């Protein structure tokens, strides 16, 4: 079965948005109306990546799944975590910081609590997705009613949000990741039911998610930092439900040929390389600018403790 162009295109769009978002964090324009607009439009960008993985997920024997997922997710996670941390250590040396705790103890604490190091923070997603895939495989083996499972996960996500931030962020993002992952799995495995409906019903089922998504963006913009499951603005419930509808919306929109012509499919097909490397590149640029302009660059000790 070939790749779905709409998924590659959607992935390309969201990878570009992610890079823009992280540029805004590194270079200080994250608190602008420009970025606020994009956050409202792409409030679903992290849920989409879990949704997409669930959409293509197939049940596997436990050991086979663990081996394949380790190769696809944990190997690049470890490799690029090390690269990011080496760059961070070089910066510490150049900046005259030689306390060994900054190189070893504090990063270990951050790795345990935040699932990633400051040299490559976005890598938390790979570890979270690895655990989500293993958990989803176990749940699906038992053949539970998935609608009930989704509802229970939604409640767990909401409880996690109430008590956030949690000390260990995996407790915050694995339940939400599993919620969106299984949502993608359910929709994919019931797509044949939709295809059997009349063209009018199919049109309605395609249009409704778009209308509801746009309504949320315009009337009740809701944004959650999924890494720590903290609500920035709007309604958590709207974000949870709206993200699923938004995932369907972008997948529908990205069927348009213009997305193929823009080369977004290439970015989508190579999304892993863009994902694991972009923060390191931005981090290097940030450090170089800070050094060349004598602006200084704070050592983020607070994020380690």
Q: Output the pLDDT for position 304.
A: 36
**For residue 1, pLDDT beyond 60:** no
Dihedral-angle region of residue 153 (phi above 0 means left; psi in -120 to 50 means alpha; beta otherwise): alpha
8 Å CB contact between 60 and 192: no
Q: Report pLDDT for 199.
A: 73
The contacts of residue 114 (CB under 8 Å, 6+ apart) are 121, 124, 169, 303
- For residue 58, count other CB atoms closer than 10 A to its CB: 10
Round the average pLDDT of the chain to a whole number and report it. Answer: 90
* Residues 176, 47 contacting (CB under 8 angstroms): yes
| Contact indicator for 54, 136 with CB cutoff of 8 Å | yes
Of the candidates 273, 299, 267, the one whose C-alpha atom is nearest the C-alpha of residue 79 is: 273
| Res 93 pLDDT > 90 | no
* Residue 152 pLDDT exceeds 80: yes
User: Does residue 165 have a pLDDT over 90?
Assistant: no
Average pLDDT over residues 250-268: 90
Q: What pTM was estimated for this model as a whole?
A: 0.92
Question: DSSP label at 303?
Answer: G
Residue 215 has pLDDT above 80, yes or no: yes
What does the angle CA 171 – CA 240 – CA 217 come to, to the nearest 5 degrees?
A: 135
Taking the C-alpha atoms of residue 210 and residue 24, their distance in angstroms, rounded to an integer, is: 28
Residue 175 has pLDDT above 50, yes or no: yes
pLDDT band for position 60 (cuts 50, 70, 90): very high
Give the C-alpha separation, 155 to 213, whole Å. Answer: 21
Q: Which of 90-99, 181-190, 281-290 has the highest mean pLDDT?
A: 181-190
């Amino acid at each position: 079965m070939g790749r779905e162009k709409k998924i590659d295109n959607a992935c390309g769009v969201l990878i570009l948005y992610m890079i823009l978002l992280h540029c805004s964090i590194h270079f200080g324009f994250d608190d602008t109306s420009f970025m606020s607009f994009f956050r409202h439009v792409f409030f679903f960008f992290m849920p989409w990546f879990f949704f997409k993985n669930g959409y293509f997920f197939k049940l596997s024997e436990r050991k086979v799944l663990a081996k394949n997922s380790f190769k696809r997710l944990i190997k690049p996670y470890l490799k690029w975590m090390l690269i990011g941390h080496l760059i961070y250590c070089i910066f510490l040396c150049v900046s005259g910081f030689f306390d060994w705790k900054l190189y070893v103890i504090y990063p270990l604490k951050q790795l345990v609590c935040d699932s990633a190091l400051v040299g490559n923070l976005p890598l938390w997603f790979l570890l979270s997705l690895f655990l989500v895939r293993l958990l989803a495989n176990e749940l699906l083996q038992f053949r539970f009613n998935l609608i009930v499972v989704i509802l229970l996960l939604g409640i767990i996500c909401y409880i996690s949000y109430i008590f956030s931030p949690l000390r260990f962020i995996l407790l915050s993002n694995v339940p939400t990741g599993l919620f969106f992952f299984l949502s993608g799995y359910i929709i994919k495995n019931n797509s044949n039911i939709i295809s059997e409906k009349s063209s009018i019903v199919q049109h309605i089922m395609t249009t409704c998610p778009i209308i509801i998504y746009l309504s949320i963006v315009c009337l009740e913009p809701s944004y959650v930092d999924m890494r720590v499951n903290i609500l920035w603005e709007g309604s958590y419930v709207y974000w949870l439900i709206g993200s699923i509808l938004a995932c369907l919306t972008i997948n529908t929109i990205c069927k348009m040929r213009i997305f193929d012509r823009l080369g977004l499919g290439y970015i989508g097909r190579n999304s892993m390389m863009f994902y694991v490397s972009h923060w390191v590149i931005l981090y290097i640029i940030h450090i170089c600018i800070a050094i060349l302009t004598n602006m200084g660059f704070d050592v983020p000790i607070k994020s380690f403790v």
